[in-house]
């Protein structure tokens, strides 16, 4: 069995499963957020009764993160709906925007977008917050009401996005009927070279198979190249499995996984036991691709979908209006450090926005020194508009007052986010080019798409 099949078999209480089997699996964690949480709660109450109790209050994790830093009253109200439900059900893990359990969330636009407006429990973007807060464990099943839930596959976990109806059912029963996906095999060899990042790996893979090339399939990444990648790198790659239509992305368990997970469950006092899965000798794959990391070059996914792959060095004719670094995919500490590596000593020439994924990342960037300046200050000195209000921000457009949202037609934006279908970051007539934080940095300096190695060489 493949890694995915092994986890699903165990969760179904079966010795063996194969692609195409329909099986009931037990969920380990259900995650929801401010956009889908209220709808999920509505389904749960409608189907199980208004006085029903959730299946397990210690296995539901609620993370408001999407439409948070906006004055839109309906969006603010969603956070209050989550808080009321958490109180009613006594749910253990709720990362509220405010500290007052009886308060109401309101974003104060008069204070501007840059300075922090959240309380001490707020955790930021759900997929980045889940591992930081100790909710991702090898061998487990994570369901989340968000398509990029697949990011937790970096931790040798079966993690996938589900809709509100399924999530309402999981909330009531802890179970879900799943068709076992076929597995596609991406064997990574070699090592990433300077100027090339994990984002380039996944953009390359999606370029090979197209934005629907992994529809309802597992994408398994392994081999010596995968072992050489950091946990952040693996998260970036697993995150974008859905951009090829994948059911999930998954990595093998190793000492890096163990070190990260053990540290995080200890720090947060969450469940510390888990049983990873290792691949069998007789794995059956429906597709195989070997990717030599040594040979990869900075890559861009052009408008209008993540499968439109080109090399950054061939894109100099694309003049840009804006650059954006952030999101679950591209807003981690390591992403901002590589962004700063290129920007250090330069100044951006186009509007450039930086949105860390979580408050923890904000703190790290503001306290990590590179020479005499913090990483945060390097970026601000280079002209990047850095906000402390960690969250999804303009990654998915959001209400019109969202930080970094594209509100004008015709804007061309290079972005370290994960999705670029028309209208994703705002105006439907804008164009988004997906790239690594390094390529975004170099392009923000040049005002057009360029290969970041040009700046590293200097």
**Binding of ligand SF4 by 96 (CB under 6 A):** no
- Contact pattern from residue 270 through residue 309 relative to ligand SF4, giving x for each residue in contact according to CB under 6 A and a dash for the rest: ----------------------------------------
Task: Give the pair of three-digit tokens for residue 83.
Answer: 């808080």
- Contact pattern from residue 48 through residue 87 relative to ligand SF4, giving x for each residue in contact according to CB under 6 A and a dash for the rest: ------------------x---------------------
343's enclosing H/E stretch is: helix 333-343
Quick one: how far is CA 293 from the chain centroid? Answer: 22
Report 135-174 residues binding ligand SF4 (CB under 6 A). Answer: 146, 148
Task: Give the pair of three-digit tokens for residue 249.
Answer: 């992305």
| Shortest Å distance, C-beta 355 to ligand SF4 | 8
Strand pairing class (29-32; 141-144): parallel
Say how far apart CA 16 and CA 36 lie, in whole Å.
33
284 CB neighbour count, 10 Å cutoff: 13
SS3 162: coil
Say how far apart CA 284 and CA 180 lie, in whole Å.
13
> Between residues 79 and 446, which has the closer beta carbon with respect to ligand SF4?
79
454 CB neighbour count, 10 Å cutoff: 16
| Shortest Å distance, C-beta 19 to ligand SF4 | 27
Which range binds ligand SF4 by CB under 6 A, 50-58, 119-127, 216-224, 444-452? 119-127
- Contact pattern from residue 402 through residue 421 relative to ligand SF4, giving x for each residue in contact according to CB under 6 A and a dash for the rest: ---------------xx---
> Between residues 343 and 392, which has the closer beta carbon with respect to ligand SF4?
392
Q: Which of 320, 375, 395, 449 binds ligand SF4 (CB under 6 A)?
A: 395
Burial class (CB in 10 A: 0-12, 13-18, 19+), 26: middle
| Shortest Å distance, C-beta 392 to ligand SF4 | 3
User: ω before 304 within 30° of 0 (cis)?
Assistant: yes
> Between residues 392 and 449, which has the closer beta carbon with respect to ligand SF4?
392
**Binding of ligand SF4 by 325 (CB under 6 A):** no
| Shortest Å distance, C-beta 358 to ligand SF4 | 11
Q: Which of 328, 362, 438, 442 binds ligand SF4 (CB under 6 A)?
A: 328
Q: Which of 248, 327, 334, 352 binds ligand SF4 (CB under 6 A)?
A: 327
DSSP string, 236-303: HHHHGGGGGT-SEEEE---HHHHHHHHHHHHHHT-----------TT---SEEEEEEGGG---EEEPT
> Between residues 125 and 209, which has the closer beta carbon with respect to ligand SF4?
125
Give the number of C-alpha atoms closer than 13 A to the C-alpha of residue 218, restricted to the C-beta side: 32
Q: Residues with Cβ < 8 Å from 231, sequence gap 6 or more?
A: 131, 154, 155, 256, 257, 260
Say how far apart CA 251 and CA 254 lie, in whole Å.
9
> Between residues 126 and 170, which has the closer beta carbon with respect to ligand SF4?
126
Which range binds ligand SF4 by CB under 6 A, 19-27, 177-185, 245-253, 391-399? 391-399
Q: Which of 378, 392, 435, 445 binds ligand SF4 (CB under 6 A)?
A: 392
| Shortest Å distance, C-beta 127 to ligand SF4 | 6
Which range binds ligand SF4 by CB under 6 A, 11-19, 205-213, 306-314, 388-396? 388-396
Say how far apart CA 407 and CA 50 lie, in whole Å.
40
**Binding of ligand SF4 by 127 (CB under 6 A):** yes
Helix axes 37-48, 164-173, angle to 10 degrees: 60
Residue 185's beta-bridge partner residues? 220, 288
Which range binds ligand SF4 by CB under 6 A, 77-85, 212-220, 263-271, 392-400? 392-400
> Between residues 174 and 331, which has the closer beta carbon with respect to ligand SF4?
331
Say how far apart CA 259 and CA 63 lie, in whole Å.
24
Q: Which of 125, 240, 301, 432 binds ligand SF4 (CB under 6 A)?
A: 125
Quick one: how far is CA 253 from the chain centroid? Answer: 19
């Amino acid at each position: 069995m493949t890694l995915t099949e092994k986890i699903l078999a165990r969760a179904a209480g079966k010795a063996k499963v194969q692609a195409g089997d329909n099986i009931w699996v037990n969920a380990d964690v259900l995650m929801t957020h401010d956009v889908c949480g209220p709808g999920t709660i509505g389904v749960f109450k409608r189907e199980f009764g208004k006085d029903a109790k959730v299946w397990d209050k210690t296995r539901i994790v609620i993370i408001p993160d999407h439409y948070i830093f906006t004055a839109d009253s309906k969006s603010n109200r969603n956070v209050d709906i989550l808080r009321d439900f958490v109180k009613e059900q006594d749910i253990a893990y709720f990362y509220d925007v405010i500290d007052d359990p009886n308060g109401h969330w309101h974003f104060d636009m008069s204070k501007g977008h840059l300075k922090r407006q959240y309380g001490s429990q707020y955790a930021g973007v759900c997929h980045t917050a889940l591992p930081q807060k100790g909710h991702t464990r090898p061998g487990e099943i994570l369901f989340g009401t968000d398509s990029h839930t697949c990011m937790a596959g970096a931790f040798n976990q079966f993690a996938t996005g589900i809709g509100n109806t399924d999530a309402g059912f999981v909330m009531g029963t802890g179970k879900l009927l799943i068709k076992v996906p076929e597995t596609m095999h991406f064997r990574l060899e070699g090592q990433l070279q300077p100027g090339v990042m994990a984002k380039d790996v996944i953009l390359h893979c999606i370029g090979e198979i197209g934005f629907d090339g992994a529809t309802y399939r597992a994408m398994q990444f392994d081999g010596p190249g995968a072992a050489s990648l950091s946990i952040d790198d693996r998260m970036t790659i697993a995150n974008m499995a859905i951009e090829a239509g994948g059911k999930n992305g998954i990595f093998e368990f190793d000492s890096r996984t163990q070190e990260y997970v053990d540290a995080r469950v200890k720090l947060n006092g969450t469940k510390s036991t888990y049983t990873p899965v290792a691949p069998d000798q007789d794995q059956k794959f429906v597709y195989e691709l070997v990717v030599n990391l040594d040979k990869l070059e900075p890559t861009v996914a052009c408008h209008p979908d993540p499968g439109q792959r080109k090399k950054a060095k061939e894109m100099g004719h694309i003049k840009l209006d804006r650059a954006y670094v952030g999101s679950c995919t591209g807003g981690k500490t390591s992403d901002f450090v590589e962004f700063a590596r290129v920007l250090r000593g330069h100044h951006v020439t186009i509007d450039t926005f930086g949105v860390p994924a979580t408050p923890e990342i904000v703190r790290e960037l503001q306290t990590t020194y590179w020479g005499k300046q913090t990483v945060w200050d390097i970026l601000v000195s280079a002209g990047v508009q850095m906000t402390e209000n960690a969250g999804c921000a303009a990654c998915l457009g959001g209400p019109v007052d969202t930080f970094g949202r594209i509100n004008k037609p015709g804007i061309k934006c290079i972005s370290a986010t994960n999705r670029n279908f028309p209208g994703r970051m705002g105006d439907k007539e804008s164009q988004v080019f997906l790239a690594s934080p390094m390529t975004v940095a170099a392009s923000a300096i040049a005002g057009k798409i360029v290969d970041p190695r040009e700046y590293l060489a200097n």
